[in-house]
Chain A
Amino acid sequence: MEDRIPETPLFDRSRQLRGYRLNKMAMGLVDPANREAFRQDEEAYLDRFGLSAEEKRAVMARNWQEMVRLGGNVFYILKISAISPARMTEIGAHQAGMDHDTFLRERLGKKPAGSQ
């Protein structure tokens, strides 16, 4: 997929079509029963939404960069972080290809010691 603005995936038709099942799976996590199902047997929960092997690998590895590449939108896939905690800045750092402290310092101008 070609993006007109560098390093900036626009959630356009092709991207959302590609990521539809992945995002629908993540959207399901607004339901407490689905969160419990995800906790109990993650792969079985992912299978309910027909995720491909590639999509399942990305989710189970918490590979945020790959989930976005596969059409995941952060607003949906972020709900996975309610179950296995990850801060938004950690998800950002992962996509930027930086460790967390470097990301906080270089992108957000923070001192690592003062970060939360």
Chain B
Amino acid sequence: MAKLIGGLGSSHVPSIGAAMDKGLTQTEDWKPFFDGIGPGRDWVAANRPDVAVVVFNDHGNSFFLDKVPTFAIGCAERYDPIDEGWGPRAIPSFEGHAELGWHIIDRMVENRFDPMIVQEIEVDHGIQVPMELFFGKPDKAWPVRVVPVFVNVIQYPIPLPSRCYELGQVLRRAIESFPGDERVVVIGTGGLSHQLQGARAGFTNPEADREFLRDIASNPGRLAALSREDYVRLFGSEGAELMMWLVMRGAMDPDVVVKHSHYFVPASMTGAGMLVLENRVA
């Protein structure tokens, strides 16, 4: 059976991608962030995953408001980078693990989650940036296949944080019942605190961000029990994305080891973080 080898967390701020595209990673603004991603990349290189299940939200690129799935799961062979308005970025397409995608969808529905089934879609910075942070930008092909899991965190009603956590628990069972020998990581993406809209634009909350990075490992129940409004109040209107890390966390054992944790603010207007968790081996 496939094996879940780790749970990763990462911001997906588009300007992180732009900083990499423009060669700005060593500038005064960006160096402190990029200096902290090395151990995450090293962990991935040492642990050699075959598949990344990436939990993220679309940002008004692949889905418009005409059709808004609360949860959607990809079962495509390939995902091309989308044109977000500036032209598609020069990064390779993602090879999908369609069989695992279908298997996850089957197990989800059997366990009373009913995602939208997606066989053809282009993907935005929500998946691109975390993949680049953990795997580097490859010239030709990514070293892993992907299964995208889309969560609506833009159009209300967005799902409950506790529901995201439960989705992760089902995802874990789905991965570990897949007939294959794949080594799988689940990547929760988004956040940390930021707000792009309204008079509170530019709001960040470093203290809450640091508590989040601590508690997502040691006390995820507290974070799953918060309301959607708590997320917006604590982390900003777009910081509510952080509930997607709960999907990753729900897929892990209750007892985890933190292999790497990094935080920097501000990446553009956002508290930016990276996290690597492993299940504690008994």
Inter-subunit contact B64/A27 (CB<8 Å): yes
Contacts of B154 in A (CB 8 A): 11, 73, 75
Set of chain A residues within 8 Å of B269, measured between Cβ atoms = 88-89, 92, 107-108
Report the nearest B residue to A6, measured CB to CB.
Answer: B200
Q: Is B204 an interface residue (CB 8 A)?
A: yes
Number of interface residues of A (CB under 8 A): 47
* Contact in complex: B199, A7 (CB < 8 Å): yes
User: Closest residue of chain B to A97, judged by CB?
Assistant: B199
Q: Which residues of A contact B15 (CB under 8 A)?
A: 88
CA of A3 to CA of B204 in the docked complex: distance in angstroms? Answer: 19
**Given A5, A23, A27, which contacts B232 in the complex, CB threshold below 8 Å?**
A5
Please tell me if A29 contacts chain B, counting CB pairs below 8 Å: yes
Which chain A residues lie closer than 8 Å to B214 at the CB level?
Answer: none
Interface size class of B (residues with CB under 8 A): 35 or more
Q: Which A residue's beta carbon lies closest to that of B15?
A: A88
* Interface mask (A18-30 → B, CB under 8 Å = 1, otherwise 0): 0010011001011
Q: Point out the residues of chain B lying under 8 angstroms from A73, CB to CB.
A: 60, 154, 197
B65 part of interface (Cβ distance < 8 Å) = yes
A20 lies within 8 A of B65 (CB): yes
A12 interface contact, C-beta 8 A: yes
| Chain B residues near A30 (CB-CB < 8 A) | 61, 82-85
Any chain B CB within 8 A of the CB of A46?
Answer: no
Given A10-B237, A27-B64: A92 and B196 interface contact (C-beta under 8 Å): yes
The residue from B64, B155, B201 contacting A95, defined by CB atoms under 8 A apart: B201
Bound-state Cα–Cα, A103 to B82, Å? 31
Do B29 and A116 touch across chains, with their CB atoms under 8 A apart?
A: yes
- Which residue of chain B lies nearest to A79 when distances are taken between CB atoms in the complex? B85
User: How far does the alpha carbon of A20 sit from the alpha carbon of B266 in the complex, in Å?
Assistant: 31
CB distance from B33 to the nearest CB of A (A): 13
Minimum Cβ distance to chain A for residue B69 (Å): 15
With A75-B60, A76-B60, A96-B199: A108-B204 Cβ-Cβ less than 8 Å: yes
Q: Is A40 positioned at the interface, with any CB of B under 8 Å from its CB?
A: no
CB distance from B80 to the nearest CB of A (A): 13
B28 touches A (CB below 8 Å): yes
Partner of B27, one of A16, A23, A103, A116: A116
Residue among A23, A88, A110 with most chain B CB within 10 A:
A88
B234–chain A nearest beta-carbon distance, Å: 10
**When the two chains form their complex, are residues B198 and A9 in contact, meaning their CB atoms are under 8 A apart?**
yes
Q: A75-B154, A88-B268 are in contact. List 16 more A-B contacts (CB 8 A).
A: A7-B198, A7-B199, A11-B197, A11-B237, A23-B64, A30-B85, A35-B85, A65-B199, A73-B154, A75-B196, A95-B199, A107-B202, A107-B203, A110-B266, A115-B29, A116-B29
Interface of B with A (CB < 8 Å)? 15, 24, 27-29, 59-61, 64-65, 82-87, 154-156, 195-204, 229, 232-233, 236-237, 265-266, 268-269
Interface residues of A (CB under 8 A from B): 3-13, 16, 20, 23-24, 27, 29-32, 35, 65, 68, 73-76, 78-79, 82-83, 88-89, 91-93, 95-97, 103, 107-110, 114-116
